[in-house]
């Protein structure tokens, strides 16, 4: 009940392709990404062309946003000629955005709907991370046909560990199902050394697990509020889409202590 989309050009997709796990999986493209702004739902622009067409901005703001998108698209961390004299490891996102004169609403949807920051702390942090996030967004849109930046396993997220388990079996790995009360074991130095279940210990050097297996190692940092809405129609202004990401920025919802 906690669907998490996969960026089409993100690290996970590249890992799936590199390890050839994709031959065990089928994916479905999510129809699009939308943002709630001024009481209405709008498609999130990902390129300079989409920025010019977006109703999120007025005419002059579109030109400024287009210039910013072009800068981001052309930016190459290893090519100083694309930096336009800006060191993104030193200037903040706020300083970079201010150079293009973007208004608060544009900054809001760029930061939360394109760069996918969950709060406004990024504005006072180095701009390089925001630019990388924006580039990943636009590259993901262009990765597959259809213009969607997200994909999702056809039969749910449980397909991912199953795919890796099948790959592991090809190379002689062992997959044990329904093992009760698994306990992660640590050596004298505090390093993980195995997993115990039903009196048997499988020795290992690394463990990948849900936080519930390590209650003493987990630090609580917040809560997640979830809601399930059963609708008789698609979400308005989403082109009759059946699956979308809808972003509700803090400022638009007037809940400044919440992350969206």
Asked whether residue 76 is domain-assigned, the answer is yes
- Sheet arrangement for strand 192-197: 183-186, 192-197, 200-203
The chain-wide mean pLDDT, for the chain, equals 86
Asked whether residue 63 is domain-assigned, the answer is yes
57 and 104 in a common domain: yes
Q: Contact at 8 Å (CB) between 136 and 116?
A: no
| Dist CA 260 CA 258 (whole Å) | 7
128-to-45, 68, 115, 125, 142 alpha-carbon distances in Å: 20, 14, 11, 9, 21
Q: Contact at 8 Å (CB) between 45 and 113?
A: no
pTM of the model: 0.77
137 and 240 in a common domain: yes
Asked whether residue 211 is domain-assigned, the answer is yes
| Dist CA 174 CA 168 (whole Å) | 7
How many structural domains are present in the chain?
2
pLDDT in tens, 16-33: 999 999 999 998 888 888
Asked whether residue 162 is domain-assigned, the answer is no
Average pLDDT value for residue range 149-176: 87
Asked whether residue 213 is domain-assigned, the answer is yes
pLDDT confidence bin for 256, thresholds 50/70/90 = low
CATH number assigned to the domain comprising residue 249: 1.10.405.10
Structural domain harbouring 86: 32-147+229-253
183 and 84 in a common domain: no
240 and 210 in a common domain: no
| Dist CA 209 CA 245 (whole Å) | 27
Average pLDDT value for residue range 159-170: 89
98 and 41 in a common domain: yes
Q: Contact at 8 Å (CB) between 234 and 220?
A: no
3-class DSSP state for residue 201?
strand
Which range has the worst mean pLDDT, 20-24, 97-101, 109-113, 194-198?
109-113
Asked whether residue 200 is domain-assigned, the answer is yes
DSSP β-bridge partners for residue 7: 150
Asked whether residue 14 is domain-assigned, the answer is no
* pLDDT score for 46: 64
């Amino acid at each position: 009940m906690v669907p998490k989309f996969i960026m089409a050009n993100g690290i996970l997709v590249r890992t799936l392709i590199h390890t050839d796990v994709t031959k065990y999986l089928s994916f479905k493209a999510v129809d699009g990404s939308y943002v709630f702004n001024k009481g209405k739902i709008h498609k999130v622009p990902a390129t300079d062309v989409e920025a010019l067409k977006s109703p999120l901005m007025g005419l002059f703001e579109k030109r400024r946003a287009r210039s910013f998108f072009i800068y981001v698209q052309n930016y190459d961390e290893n090519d100083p000629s694309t930096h336009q004299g800006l060191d993104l490891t030193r200037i903040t996102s706020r300083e970079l955005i201010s150079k293009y004169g973007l208004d608060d609403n544009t900054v809001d949807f760029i930061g939360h709907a394109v760069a996918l920051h969950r709060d406004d702390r990024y504005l006072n942090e180095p701009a390089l991370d925001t630019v990388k996030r924006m580039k990943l967004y636009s590259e993901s849109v262009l990765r597959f046909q259809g213009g969607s930046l997200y994909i999702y396993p056809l039969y749910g997220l449980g397909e991912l560990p199953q795919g890796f388990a099948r790959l592991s079996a090809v190379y002689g790995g062992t997959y044990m199902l329904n093992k009760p009360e698994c306990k992660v074991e640590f050596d004298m130095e505090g390093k993980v050394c195995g997993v115990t279940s039903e009196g048997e210990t499988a020795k290992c050097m690394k463990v990948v697990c849900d936080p519930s297996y390590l209650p003493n190692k987990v630090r609580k940092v917040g809560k997640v509020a979830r809601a399930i809405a059963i609708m008789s129609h698609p979400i308005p202004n989403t082109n009759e889409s059946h699956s979308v990401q809808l972003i509700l920025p803090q400022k638009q919802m007037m809940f400044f202590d919440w992350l969206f």
